[in-house]
Amino acid sequence: MRILGIDYGKKKIGLAFGDSVAHVAVPLTVIPNVGEETFVALAKKVAQEDIDLVVVGVPLSTGGHHGPEQLQITRAFIKALAGVLSVPVAEEDESYTSAESIRLQREEGAQAHEDALAAMLIVQAYMDKLRSSEPVAL
């Protein structure tokens, strides 16, 4: 399954690609969040990349810089996005992805933008859950 990961922000949106067969996620890019144009750009990306599923990070842990209002805003974005896409849109907890993406940049020398790295971590977490729910062949 080809997955587009999204780290949603009011000003910018991080994107990442995941392949559940190869079990690999890579950061892509960051796009500006400019309202309706953003939905058009994301729908185009889904079609161009033959995406099967979109996974959007949601701030389930309300500590730090996210509060319950950010969760509502993100879920409104997800609802609007699902209305323009022809593929399913799923949620994945994005707790601590920003801190981890900064760590990847500092300690591991990752060159990708922080928000694209966060999107990669969101996709990876989603694929890890998929993998752990698959039956084990004997």
pLDDT at position 68 is 76
Residue 116 scores a pLDDT above 60: yes
Per-residue 3-state assignment (H helix, E strand, C coil) for 75-121: HHHHHHHHHHCCCCEEEEECCCHHHHHHHHHHHHCCCCCHHHHHHHH
- For the chain, how many residues are written? 138
Give the residues across from 93 on adjacent strands.
58
pTM: 0.85
67-111 per-position pLDDT tens digit: 678 889 999 999 999 999 999 999 998 876 666 656 655 666 656
Q: Classify domain 2-132 at the CATH superfamily level.
A: YqgF/RNase H-like domain (3.30.420.140)
Which has the higher per-residue pLDDT, 52 or 114?
52
pLDDT at position 77 is 96
25-79 per-position pLDDT tens digit: 999 999 999 999 999 999 999 999 999 999 999 987 655 555 678 889 999 999 9
Residue 112 scores a pLDDT above 70: no
Q: Which residue has the tokens 């004997």?
A: 138
pLDDT at position 103 is 62
The ranges assigned to domains in the chain are: 2-132
Asked if residues 121 and 101 have their Cβ atoms less than 8 Å apart, the reply is yes
